[in-house]
Structure 1
């Protein structure tokens, strides 16, 4: 346990953070935590007892490789309430000073191995110049834009790929699986997964530690990310949602939706809000 005296942790922190990763935290271009203040501010808030939970479609391997090292370098202390809820609620783990703790998988949300193999073959045979098969996913199946490919080129063929996957789902008779495209990827997933399931798992993990935030900030870059704020609001929690890519349109919600006052987007917008919240703790 760290002996730093600046850390004042409480079971009733003023707020908790439920954060999408791609966009608000990791750059959708480099796929890394590129804005240096992000890890600094997240670690500072976690060290004061603010729950920091990554509610993401990303795999636990991505979090371990791209998110955890900057947090450790920024001084994340032991015993902080930091978790990853990966693959939209299907996989979860505690984030510690040493890295990821035990990894848990809800096997009831895992997709058939035969479908995984068919999607991998589809990518290899027809789309490998634009996208790659994500081998790190444990429950869902995902493909992602190659880093050296222009996003416009990827998006131009994403629909063709998604249609081919839909045909695979029909062939396998998998009506309980859906296709969820993003600006840099396509997720093929069980219909029960989602940012709302991630939010539910997050509160269970905090409940096991008797940590109850007085309010919540959620953050994302797509309309599906609103589901975590929707769920928190429906459960009676005070929540505000940050949309770091409001160009898609901000829907009407029963809770506040915040956007960058400087018109920043993605991780630049995420960094603005994290710095503001960290400064509120004094």
Structure 2
């Protein structure tokens, strides 16, 4: 006799959870050194909150492929349930999809915000000709054009090369007649992107995606490691939503804001600080 297979458990989610999480990935969730989710508790706590109905949204400049390869397996291993309110808003709002135990759902791309393939080809060639010892071209991006520091490269050498790389980009943009494009360097990468992209666009897409499921969080925690990540909290606050922002790399300076800004009580940074806050929030849900 064949033993019947137990049905896959499905969480039931309330429409007005206590809070939602809008999270940058590099820094707060994934280590900027290893580019992986290196702290075990991060996946466990994110999954516990998602399974309890807390919206978990990865609002990142990373590609959907990075989320599928580095984040989804961690959530799956921690027992993420089907239907949990988890999404990725990738490439700063240009690409989005639901996150499920089996991977990403339908991947949607805003073609109006996608840079031309010719620019990608020119940037790829520039990296190969002058910068390949310290950085690589990100082949997984669908809308923006990005290069990233090679894992293990010397950070000071990379920053010097990055300045030269960034200085070469305006000429390529001019050659393609592109004037609505921003160059956005971070500590491990440079993104070349449509000027409408940003963490605020990711926040707007988040609210729309949750509305499609009838979910409206009563408050929000946003989290990031750069000044541009504050745009998430800015956008939510400007629309009358209750929000607090966690800065996991406050050494760059904390801008004035009309909402609460939180930093690690232990002076931890990056994913260690991220893990600290996620543990606190997961404890609230488990209580």
TM over 0.5: yes
Tell me how far apart the structure 2 counterparts of residues 8 and 79 of structure 1 sit (CA, whole Å): 8
Return 130-139 or 168-177, whichever deviates more. 168-177
Counterpart among 161, 165, 170 of residue 165 in structure 2:
161
Cα RMSD (Å):
1.0
What is the match of residue 246 of structure 1?
A: 250
Deviations 1:148-197 (A, max 9, x none): 20212111111100000122112222110110000000000000000000
Deviations 1:181-235 (A, max 9, x none): 0000000000000000000000000000000100000000000000010000011
What is the match of residue 205 of structure 1?
A: 209
Return 88-97 or 167-176, whichever deviates more. 167-176
Name the SS for the 2:141 alignment partner.
coil
| 1:50 partnered with 2:54 | yes
What is the match of residue 140 of structure 1?
A: 144
Give the drift of 1:2. Answer: 4.1
Deviations 1:103-126 (A, max 9, x none): 000000000111110000000000
Q: TM-score under structure 1 normalisation? A: 0.98
Unaligned runs of 5+ in 2: 1-6
Name the SS for the 2:9 alignment partner.
coil
What is the match of residue 13 of structure 1?
A: 17
What is the match of residue 176 of structure 2?
A: 172
Alignment of 1:1-282 (within 5 A): 2-3=8-9, 9-281=13-285, 282=287
Name the SS for the 1:93 alignment partner.
strand
Tell me how far apart the structure 2 counterparts of residues 87 and 16 of structure 1 sit (CA, whole Å): 20
Name the SS for the 2:174 alignment partner.
helix
Give the drift of 1:97. Answer: 1.3
Tell me how far apart the structure 2 counterparts of residues 83 and 214 of structure 1 sit (CA, whole Å): 18
Unaligned runs of 5+ in 1: none
Tell me how far apart the structure 1 counterparts of residues 34 and 188 of structure 2 sit (CA, whole Å): 11
Name the SS for the 1:49 alignment partner.
coil
